[in-house]
């Protein structure tokens, strides 16, 4: 039996850390594709989205500060999670996001 998969592409705009002003002047964009098993329970779908967003947002070593890199990565992850969950339009997954403190507004556009 083949499971239902959904691929969602979102644009990830590189944002600068305070220690890299040159990046802030010329942000780069890339498309990130999320692979989601739609047959899975909503909590698993949400966890998969968060994990894939965390990986996609891994910052380059623009700073030697682990705390700074982690904070930048967390902000990026939250932005991507909001976009992907909104794009899915699945009420159960949106509810999982809400339970985890993520507010979803609109349809992810």
Task: Tell me the whole-structure pTM to 2 decimals.
Answer: 0.72
The pLDDT of residue 41: 94
**Total structural domains within the chain:** 1
The pLDDT of residue 50: 94
Instruction: Give dist(CA 19, CA 69) in Å, integer.
Output: 11
Could you tell me the residue range of the domain that residue 50 belongs to?
5-99
Q: Would you say residue 97 has pLDDT above 90?
A: yes
Instruction: Give dist(CA 86, CA 78) in Å, integer.
Output: 12
Classify residue 79: in a domain, yes or no. Answer: yes
The pLDDT of residue 27: 54
Are 29 and 47 a contacting pair, CB within 8 Å?
no
3 or 45: which leads in pLDDT? 45
Classify residue 105: in a domain, yes or no. Answer: no
State the DSSP string of 25-75.
HS--EEEEEEEEETTS-HHHHHHHHHHHHHHHTPPPSS-S-HHHHHHHHHH
The pLDDT of residue 33: 86
The pLDDT of residue 23: 42
Are 10 and 32 a contacting pair, CB within 8 Å?
yes
User: What pLDDT, in 10s, does the model give residues 48-72?
Assistant: 999 999 998 886 666 677 888 888 8
11 or 46: which leads in pLDDT? 46
Classify residue 106: in a domain, yes or no. Answer: no
């Amino acid at each position: 039996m083949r499971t239902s998969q959904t691929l969602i592409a979102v644009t990830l705009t590189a944002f600068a850390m305070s220690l890299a002003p040159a990046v802030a002047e010329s942000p780069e964009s890339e498309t990130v594709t999320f692979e989601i098993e739609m047959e899975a329970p909503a909590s698993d779908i949400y966890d998969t989205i968060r994990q894939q967003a965390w990986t996609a947002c891994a910052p380059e070593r623009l700073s030697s500060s682990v705390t700074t890199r982690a904070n930048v990565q967390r902000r990026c992850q939250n932005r991507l999670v909001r976009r992907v969950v909104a794009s899915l339009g699945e009420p159960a997954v949106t509810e999982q996001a809400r339970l985890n403190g993520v507010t979803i507004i609109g349809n992810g556009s």
